[in-house]
DNA sequence: CGGTGGTCAGACAACGCTGTCATGCCCGCA
DNA sequence: TGCGGGCATGACAGCGTTGTCTGACCACCG
């Protein structure tokens, strides 16, 4: 900028004015400056500019695994909201480790990102002090966190599971198994509890068949084999997330068991499996969008009390939820 | 930092030394400073630090659509490489628009990201001048770009298509259709040309059935219906990317056509479709990793000539490629 | 006891920009 | 002619750090 100023015989401030389209520059002066800028290939250093202004026009998204379709849809939605507001998005993956998440969040705070959307790895809010001290707005997604109240976007896990159970019951099932993720995850516990509660409220047999993860295809396999034989064999399965649905599909196919299935999380090819898989759809894009919008509201000065938004789920009925006579292929 | 210095009765420079673990500070002084830092909750402003040092420890990834599994896997891989090198990753989506891509890249250059990985929207290298002037290293992925030679990571489109055709021919197919993406895409043209060339070299009938996109399920539907009847009906289909594979699967199911299929791009549930879908697997994670590694090599001062790396593809044989008697369900 | 060298610490400028305030000029009006 | 006011421009400081250089102090040596 100093070089441009020298060449154009003006002060740096005038160059700054031209670059920022500030008023108060005579047209011919501006033109001269622009010509020099063009000739020298000058580009404003946003880092310096933003440092002066105290904002970075950058927000961050912290998730577990960017390759997981759930998070990649979230990421795309958040990036979109950021882009239309002229912000950049930094994505970081904590790989499910609370300590890494803490380190990642602190690094982002040190960079003075304007705000952060986090899918928290656990409920401990380990970065709370840092966030509080730095006044960095944060929005939690998918899972709540203890400690200082923060904006939180959740999915209606209870409603989702209930709709799944009710759907199966409506098709004559009474012995249903539930495969949940690692109970260390809040969502996994929510869905498990919702399953048990719904079973009770519908007057289904007690001693629910519930198996919590972490699950591998073989662990699902073992449990299925056991529960599908013996007294009161199960006739249907509910899986607690997309990965477990996949494991269950593989297991059902391998065991050639004619069980019905409702999965949690929609997936791209659910309609192409035979039979097409009935799923509880939570809308990751909508959740990401909502989270980003809430974050930007805070950035724009919204000082209202932290709020928790529960996004509805939707049961997408395909064929796998009805009573079946032949095995999943 | 000034506050800390005052409180600890030292100069800012000494605080800086402590924060950066520089030598030359007496242990008791350092301890005193650390105590004040802790008490005041001081955190170094990385923006200022990085501005002083001229590096941002940030790289960027520009893709078409973060929600597309191909790109989300790339993104996860690049982020991983960045993280293990203490860099942050900014992801941006150009939504397939060359002009938006240009704007995005220029914004990133203005932020002085240390380097950029781009899946270019077209071959025009419209940001070449800016990149050249700013000396920002760039690595192109998946598609090459004209102009200044740059590091480029490609996938072996020709080999991939050849393996698909050969596989089908080995199973007795002679009339094969090819559905490619919009020929505006370099990869789409590559795969189409490879298809035609391979057909010729294997001595298959001329007048190849080739339909280029952009494709919708219904456009695939129409073409399939036509080619599957009449003289010399096709018995197999090759699809040029994951989206088209999906469209073709839907169409084949709807039309109840007993055609064989080989798709380009693996997808998570390819093994669960009936029949399981044979695919040409290109490894997006490996490509992303390779691109990031190449970028970091440049950041570390590698001045060697720009190179183009072609990553191998692998045919994953499932059941959909053999000769079929019954329709895809 | 003066000189030498090492250790610890601070002053200052600079990174590249922008906000604030000051300055100079010209115009129009009384 | 003198003066107020608007317009175009510039000087300067400061955003929060770090690199460089200088200086105070002490120990040790001949």
pLDDT digits (tens, 9 = 90+) for B51-92: 999 899 999 999 999 999 999 999 999 999 999 999 999 999
Contacts of A169 (CB under 8 A, 6+ apart): A202, A204
Is the C-beta atom of B52 closer than 7 angstroms to strand D? yes
- Distance, in angstroms, between B280 CA and closest chain A CA? 18
Same domain, A74 and A144: yes
Same domain? A151 vs A296? yes
Whether B317 is covered by a domain: the verdict is: no
Average pLDDT over residues A7-14: 95
Q: What is the per-residue pLDDT across B117-129, written as a single tens digit (0 to 9) for each?
A: 999 999 998 899 9
CATH classification of the domain holding A12: 1.10.260.40
Q: Are B247 and B179 found together in one domain?
A: yes
- Kindly state whether residue A319 falls inside one of the protein's structural domains: no
Q: How far is CA B235 from CA B166, B172, B251, B276, B322, in A?
A: 14, 9, 15, 17, 10
On whether both B167 and B260 belong to a single domain, the answer is yes
Instruction: Using alpha carbons, select from B162, B113, B174, B198 the residue that is nearest to residue B312.
Output: B162
Residues B296-306 pLDDT 10s: 999 999 999 99
- Evaluate whether residue A173 is within a structural domain: yes
b (16+ CB within 10 A) / e for B166-185: ebbbebebebbbbbbbeeeb
Domain that holds residue A20: 2-44
Residues B184 and B114 in one domain: no
Which residues fall within 8 angstroms of residue A278, CB to CB, at 6 or more apart? A164, A167, A261, A262, A263, A315, A316, A317, A318, A319, A320, A321
Residue B326's pLDDT is 52
Q: Are residues B205 and B305 in the same domain?
A: no
Partners of B19 on chain A (C-beta within 8 Å) are none
- Cβ contacts (< 8 Å) between A283 and chain B: which residues? none
Asked whether the predicted pLDDT for residue B133 surpasses 80, the reply is: yes
Q: How many CB pairs under 8 A join A and B?
A: 154
Q: Is A51 on the interface with B (CB under 8 A)?
A: yes
Per-residue pLDDT band at B273 (split at 50, 70, 90):
confident
User: Residue B26 region, left (φ>0) first, then alpha (ψ -120 to 50), else beta?
Assistant: beta
Q: Which residue has the higher pLDDT, A317 or B327?
A: A317
Verify that A289 and A245 share a domain, yes or no.
no
Residue B324 pLDDT greater than 80, yes or no = no
- For chain B, what percent of residues have pLDDT higher than 70? 98
* The pLDDT of residue B329 is above 50: no
CATH number for the domain that contains residue A88: 3.40.50.2300
Same domain, A104 and A211: no
Radius of gyration of chain A (CA): 26
pLDDT above 50 (res A329):
no
Sequence-separated (6 or more) residues with CB below 8 Å from residue A262: A164, A167, A168, A236, A237, A238, A239, A277, A278, A279, A280, A315, A320, A321
List A residues 84-103 in contact with B (Cβ-Cβ < 8 A): 88-93
Say yes or no: B209 and B250 in one domain. Answer: yes
Residues B37 and B59 reside in one and the same domain: no
With respect to residue A326, please indicate whether it lies within any of the assigned structural domains.
Answer: no
For residue range A203-237, list pLDDT tens digits in order.
887 767 999 979 988 899 999 999 988 788 999 99
pLDDT tens digits for range B224-268: 999 988 788 899 999 999 889 988 988 888 888 889 999 999 988
* pLDDT tens digits, B159-202: 999 999 999 999 999 999 999 999 999 999 999 999 999 999 99
Total domains in the fold of chain A: 3
Asked whether residue A324 carries a pLDDT value surpassing 70, the answer given is no
Are A192 and A256 found together in one domain? yes
- Residue A325 in any domain: the answer is no
**Residue whose tokens read 């030394």:** B17
| In-domain check, residue B328 | no
Does a cis peptide bond (omega within 30 degrees of 0) precede residue B214? yes
Q: Which residues contact A202 (CB under 8 A, 6 or more apart)?
A: A165, A166, A169
Q: Is the pLDDT of residue A269 over 80?
A: yes
Closest CA to B19 of B53, B2, B39, B43: B43
Percent of chain A whose pLDDT exceeds 70 = 98
Same domain, A36 and A129: no
On whether residue B323 sits in a domain, the answer given is no
**Kind of pairing, strands A236-239 and B260-264?**
unpaired
Structure confidence at residue B319 (pLDDT) = 85
Tell me, yes or no, whether B304 lies in a domain.
yes
List, in sequence order, the alpha helices (H) in B9-134: 12-19, 27-40, 46-53, 69-84, 98-110, 128-134
Lookup: tokens for B135: 């000396």
How much is the mean pLDDT over chain A?
Answer: 92
Angle between helices A217-228 and A242-255 (to 10 degrees): 60
Looking at beta carbons, which residues of chain B come within 8 Å of A72? 66-67, 69, 71-72, 75
Residue with tokens 């409180």: B7
Q: Residue A326's pLDDT band (boundaries 50, 70, 90)?
A: low
């Amino acid at each position: 900028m100093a070089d441009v100023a020298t060449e154009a015989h003006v002060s740096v401030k005038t160059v700054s004015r031209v670059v920022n389209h500030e008023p108060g520059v005579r047209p011919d002066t501006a033109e001269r400056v622009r010509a020099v800028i063009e000739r020298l290939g000058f580009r404003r250093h946003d880092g310096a500019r933003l440092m002066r202004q105290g904002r970075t026009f950058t927000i961050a998204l912290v998730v577990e695994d960017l390759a997981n379709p759930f998070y990649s849809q979230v990421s795309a939605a958040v990036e979109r909201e950021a882009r239309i507001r002229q912000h950049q998005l930094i994505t970081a993956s904590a790989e499910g480790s609370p300590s890494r998440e803490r380190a990642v969040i602190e690094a982002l705070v040190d960079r003075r990102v304007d705000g952060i959307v986090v899918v928290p790895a656990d409920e401990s809010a380990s970065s709370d002090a840092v966030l509080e001290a730095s006044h960095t707005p944060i929005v939690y997604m998918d899972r709540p966190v203890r400690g200082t109240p923060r904006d939180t976007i959740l999915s209606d896990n209870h409603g989702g599971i209930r709709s799944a159970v009710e759907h199966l019951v409506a098709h004559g099932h009474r012995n249903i198994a539930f495969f949940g993720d690692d109970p260390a995850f809040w969502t996994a516990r929510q869905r498990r509890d919702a399953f048990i509660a719904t079973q009770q409220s519908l007057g289904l047999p007690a001693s629910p068949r519930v198996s919590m993860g972490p699950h591998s295809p073989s662990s699902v396999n073992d449990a299925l084999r056991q529960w599908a034989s013996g007294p009161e064999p199960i006739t249907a399965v509910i899986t607690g997330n997309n990965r477990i649905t996949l494991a269950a599909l593989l297991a059902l196919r391998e065991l050639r068991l004619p069980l019905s299935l409702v999965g949690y999380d929609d997936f791209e090819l659910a309609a192409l499996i035979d039979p097409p898989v009935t799923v509880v759809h939570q809308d990751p894009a909508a959740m990401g969008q909502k989270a980003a919008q809430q974050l930007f509201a805070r950035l724009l000065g919204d000082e209202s009390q932290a709020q928790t938004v529960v996004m509805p789920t939707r049961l997408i009925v395909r064929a796998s939820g009805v009573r079946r006579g032949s095995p999943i292929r």
